[in-house]
């Protein structure tokens, strides 16, 4: 079989993650199904924020045959076991954890209902997971020696995006991916709408069977040349700007490395605190229409403290939404060329790798791409709206009224209809696994896909729980006080203390004997420096 020629247009983590994933899957074990090459598009706009990942990044590392410890050393990675949300509900210093390990007993999960019938003296997540406690203890999810601590703790990573890009590029080139000299020039498009030739600044005329647009939000192929429309979703997620700051440990090291991401709500958005091995990466994600760049920078510095006053900041904008079709003709858009959701739920790298993995699964070994493109587009739009629902929920559940931003995000017009249907249904019963079997709730819109461009497909997007199950929804719903008033009416005021799963209690009680501090693990296993506390 003659290898299919794949040309990836773009630079950044999206281009090299796609190249690495496709090469690993299509050309493994001596197979030669794809001839993959990359041409830079340096004027493309891609997000460079250091980021948190989801646990499925370990599937990518496994596909690439990468050792976890080597990966962590190369990209300054630390462990991520949870996201801690601060001041999202009332702005009174409250917080809750959304941990990655959520343990449930038995086939029928009644943990949420039982907790709702209690007095809520213990946060819900703490009753079904040990991770909120070990996160607050700043413990690693892995031992220094052989693991003998029961069920492994689910974890992801915090990564320095620029280093991850470089590592993926190195792996890709070593495995046969070709990087073309020169930059993207003119693009020739046939009468049938398919891309024929890409010209480089070095004078090459590059052809391919598949062109993959990883050129960031400029979308040089799918948007500029093919005219695939962008579907704006900013009505549901108002944040569209970011101000970033890096705090080196040489300047300020608190004496520990948090094994979780912190999302602290602010006047016009929220601040992400991503701990790495040599610094903390802060990003204020905010609504640019409500907070100017200089105001956001001042708020970020005040959040971090006096030691940050001389640190440099950079600002950028982004747009939330998606291409109406990811795969058009012989062109597939991936990364910000295709979609973007603000990073509250750590979906930025996930959406890139998911797109690449789905392309490998729907790879056109033959000549007829249309059936594969049809299914691929459906899958991608479902996953996008699943991410939008989940992020949108954090704003919809807030009870803050202390700023224009927090008043606006709760307005019905800023809560998408599918999320409204979910929340309405979950006032009748807590979320359970069955809610995602064939998801359609009373009152939910049956309107077709927002673009109505998939011929023969008039279905609304479906949440398949491919990203988040009912357990994840419960962690956020109950962490933010969902059904507080209703439970008082249903069950009365005088309710018993919550029960905590016995094995959760048992593991918490011996956690400090088994698990080292996160910073100690990083120093001993992956070579993090031992910084003095400042």
Task: Give dist(CA 71, CA 54) in Å, integer.
Answer: 15
- Of residues 174, 164, 221, 173, the one with CA closest to residue 197: 221
Burial of 408 (0-12, 13-18, 19+ CB in 10 A): middle
Is there a single domain that holds both residue 130 and residue 228? Answer: no
Q: Is residue 122 part of a domain?
A: yes
Is there a single domain that holds both residue 11 and residue 51? Answer: yes
- Of residues 420, 395, 391, 389, the one with CA closest to residue 408: 395
Q: What is the pLDDT of residue 353?
A: 97
Per-residue 3-state assignment (H helix, E strand, C coil) for 419-454? HHHHHHHCCCCCCCHHHHCCCCCCCCCCCCCCCCCC
The mean pLDDT value of the chain amounts to 93
Q: Is residue 460 part of a domain?
A: yes
Task: Please enumerate in sequence order all residues whose Cβ is within 8 A of that of 426, keeping only pairs 6 or more positions apart, or say none.
Answer: 435, 473, 477, 482, 483
Is there a single domain that holds both residue 69 and residue 166? Answer: yes
Burial of 229 (0-12, 13-18, 19+ CB in 10 A): middle
Please say if the pLDDT value at position 194 is more than 70. yes
Task: Give dist(CA 79, CA 264) in Å, integer.
Answer: 19
Q: Is residue 347 part of a domain?
A: yes
Concatenated DSSP letters of 219-254 = -IIIIIIT-PPEEE-TTT----EEEEEEEETTT---
Question: pLDDT confidence of 48, banded at 50, 70, 90?
Answer: low
Is there a single domain that holds both residue 409 and residue 477? Answer: yes
Is there a single domain that holds both residue 111 and residue 225? Answer: no
HSE at residue 236, side-chain half, CA atoms within 13 A, is: 25
Is there a single domain that holds both residue 218 and residue 189? Answer: yes
| CATH classification at residue 380 | 3.50.50.60
Owning domain of residue 412: 101-157+395-502
Is there a single domain that holds both residue 71 and residue 175? Answer: yes
Task: Please enumerate in sequence order all residues whose Cβ is within 8 A of that of 517, keeping only pairs 6 or more positions apart, or say none.
Answer: 137, 138, 139, 140, 256
Is there a single domain that holds both residue 479 and residue 407? Answer: yes
Count structural domains, the chain.
Answer: 2
Is there a single domain that holds both residue 429 and residue 464? Answer: yes
Which pairing describes strands 34-40 and 178-189: parallel, antiparallel, or unpaired?
parallel
Tens digits of residue pLDDT in 121-135? 999 999 999 999 999
Task: Please enumerate in sequence order all residues whose Cβ is within 8 A of that of 356, keeping only pairs 6 or more positions apart, or say none.
Answer: 17, 18, 21, 22, 334
Question: pLDDT confidence of 444, banded at 50, 70, 90?
Answer: confident
Task: Give dist(CA 290, CA 238) in Å, integer.
Answer: 10
Tens digits of residue pLDDT in 383-421? 999 999 999 999 999 999 999 999 999 999 999 999 999
- Of residues 241, 267, 238, the one with CA closest to residue 391: 238
Burial of 454 (0-12, 13-18, 19+ CB in 10 A): middle
- For residues 270 and 285, the answer to whether their CB atoms sit within 8 Å is yes
Sign of the C-alpha dihedral, residues 414, 301, 315, 326?
negative
| Rounded (10°) CA dihedral 65, 69, 71, 73 | -150
Q: Is residue 96 part of a domain?
A: no
Cα dist from 430 to 386, 441, 487, whole Å: 19, 13, 11
Tens digits of residue pLDDT in 87-103? 999 999 999 999 999 98
Please say if the pLDDT value at position 56 is more than 50. yes
Tens digits of residue pLDDT in 1-25? 789 999 999 989 999 999 999 999 9
Q: What is the pLDDT of residue 2?
A: 87
Is there a single domain that holds both residue 165 and residue 127? Answer: no
Q: What is the pLDDT of residue 40?
A: 86
- For residues 153 and 518, the answer to whether their CB atoms sit within 8 Å is no
Question: pLDDT confidence of 26, banded at 50, 70, 90?
Answer: very high
Q: Write the DSSP symbol of residue 153.
A: P
Rounded to two decimals, what is the model's pTM?
A: 0.95
Query: Comparing 264 with 443, which gets the higher pLDDT?
Result: 264
- For residues 18 and 10, the answer to whether their CB atoms sit within 8 Å is no
Q: What is the pLDDT of residue 44?
A: 56
Is there a single domain that holds both residue 224 and residue 327? Answer: yes
Task: Give dist(CA 402, CA 241) in Å, integer.
Answer: 20
């Amino acid at each position: 079989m003659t290898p299919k020629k794949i040309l990836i247009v773009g630079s950044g983590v999206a281009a090299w993650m796609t190249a690495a994933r496709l090469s690993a899957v299509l050309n493994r074990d001596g197979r030669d199904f794809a001839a993959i090459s990359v041409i830079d598009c340096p004027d493309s706009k891609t997000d460079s924020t250091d980021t948190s990942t989801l646990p499925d990044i370990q599937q990518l590392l496994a596909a690439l045959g990468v050792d976890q410890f080597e990966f962590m050393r190369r990209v300054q990675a630390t462990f991520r076991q949870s996201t801690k949300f601060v001041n999202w509900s009332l702005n009174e210093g409250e917080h809750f954890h959304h941990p990655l390990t959520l343990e449930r007993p038995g086939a029928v999960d009644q943990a949420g209902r039982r907790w709702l019938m209690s007095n809520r003296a213990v946060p819900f997540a703490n009753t079904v997971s040990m991770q909120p406690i070990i996160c607050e203890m700043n413990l690693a999810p892995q031992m220094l020696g052989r693991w003998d601590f029961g069920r492994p703790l689910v974890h992801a990573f915090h990564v320095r995006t620029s280093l991850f890009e470089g590592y993926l590029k190195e792996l890709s080139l070593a495995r046969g991916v070709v990087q073309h000299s020169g930059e993207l020039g003119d693009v020739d498009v046939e009468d049938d709408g398919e891309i024929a030739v890409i010209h480089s600044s070095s004078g090459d005329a590059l052809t391919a069977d598949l062109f993959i647009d990883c050129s960031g939000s400029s979308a040089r192929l799918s948007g500029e040349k093919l005219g695939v429309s962008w579907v704006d979703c900013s009505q549901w997620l108002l944040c569209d700007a970011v101000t970033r700051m890096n705090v080196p440990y040489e300047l300020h090291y608190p004496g520990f490395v948090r094994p979780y991401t912190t999302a602290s709500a602010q006047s016009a958005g929220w601040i992400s605190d991503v701990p790495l091995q040599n610094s903390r990466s802060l990003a204020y994600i905010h609504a640019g229409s409500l907070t100017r760049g200089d105001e956001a920078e001042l708020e970020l510095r005040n959040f971090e403290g006096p030691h940050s006053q001389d640190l440099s900041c950079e600002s950028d904008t982004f747009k939330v939404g998606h291409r109406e079709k990811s795969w058009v003709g012989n062109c597939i858009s991936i990364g910000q060329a295709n979609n973007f959701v603000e990073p509250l739920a750590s979906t930025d790298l996930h959406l890139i790798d998911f797109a690449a993995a789905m392309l490998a699964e729907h790879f056109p070994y033959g000549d007829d791409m249309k059936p594969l493109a049809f299914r691929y587009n459906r899958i991608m739009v479902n996953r996008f709206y699943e991410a939008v629902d989940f992020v949108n929920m954090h704003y919809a559940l807030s009870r803050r009224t202390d700023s224009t931003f927090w008043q606006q995000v709760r307005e019905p017009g800023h809560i998408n209809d599918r999320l409204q249907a979910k929340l309405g249904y979950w006032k009748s019963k807590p979320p359970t696994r069955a809610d995602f079997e064939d998801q359609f709730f009373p009152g939910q819109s049956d309107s077709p896909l927002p673009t109505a461009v998939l011929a023969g497909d008039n279905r609304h997007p479906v949440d398949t729980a491919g990203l988040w199950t009912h357990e994840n929804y419960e962690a956020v719903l109950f962490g933010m006080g969902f059904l507080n008033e209703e439970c008082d009416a249903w069950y009365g005021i005088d309710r018993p203390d919550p029960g905590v799963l016995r094995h959760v209690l048992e593991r918490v009680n011996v956690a400090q004997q088994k698990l080292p501090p996160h910073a100690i693990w990083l120093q001993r296993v992956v070579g993090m420096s031992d910084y003095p506390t400042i």
